[in-house]
Amino acid sequence: MTPSALLDHFGVAVSALSGVLAARGKNLDLFGVIVLALVTALGGGTIRDLLAGVAPVSWLSSPELLSTIWITAILGFFACRRFEPPLPVFQLADALALCAFAVAGTRKGLLLGFAPTIAITLGVITGVAGGIIRDTLTGDVPVVFRKNTFFYATAAFFGGLVYCIAWKLLEDEQATWIAVGSSVVLRLGALRYRLSLPAFESGVVSGRN
């Protein structure tokens, strides 16, 4: 399997798992959980491909990607009915999906010939898209827009930036895993030490019509 295909499988699997974990407590049936896992896992890549003009979108010609998602969703569903995974499992799956998609989006953007700033922007949007779709559909405020996001979109941006630099210096495979690894460390470190960028204070609210 090429590094690119591996990254895609890894991304959709952890992303599907985050979809299953987000489905807990919503009383979804098995099929609803699978649909949620599918849109969470494929949403990022779909948006990336549509924006970049890759059509039909790439997962339509990758039945293996769909198999990965179905298997992850079904195993995850029955595992979660049996065991109660602690909160960090969700946070880890979500961070891995965020960073894997951010790097994959940046990488595809560069391969298609876009400038690094465009490729990184594409990567950030791709990285946060899966979680936004998942949380919007289950009626939660998307992680990226919650209080105390602790370097969420920032980690996606950082992953894309590291990839753009490492790509010039190293081989593709190394660059990919360094970028994914360092951005996951940034995200989990920020969660652990509760680091944040400046934010709107909650006092500054006013009613909108």
The count of residues interacting with a second copy (CB under 8 A) is 79
Query: Which residues in the 122-181 window bind a second copy by CB under 8 A?
Result: 122, 124-125, 128, 132, 136-142, 144-149, 151-154, 157
- Classify burial at 55, counting beta carbons within 10 Å of its beta carbon; exposed 0-12, middle 13-18, buried 19 or more: exposed
C-beta closer to a second copy: residue 138 or 177: 138
Distance of CA 147 to the CA centre of its chain: 19
DSSP letter, residue 194: T
By residue count, the chain amounts to 209
Query: Which residues in the 91-130 window bind a second copy by CB under 8 A?
Result: 91, 112, 114-115, 117-118, 121-122, 124-125, 128
Query: Which residues in the 65-84 window bind a second copy by CB under 8 A?
Result: 66, 77, 80-81, 84
C-beta closer to a second copy: residue 143 or 179: 143
Query: Which residues in the 17-56 window bind a second copy by CB under 8 A?
Result: 21-36, 38-39, 46, 50-53, 55-56
200 binds a second copy per the rule CB under 8 A: yes
Query: For residue 114, what are the CA distances in angstroms to 17, 117, 152, 168, 182?
Result: 31, 8, 24, 15, 23
DSSP letter, residue 148: S
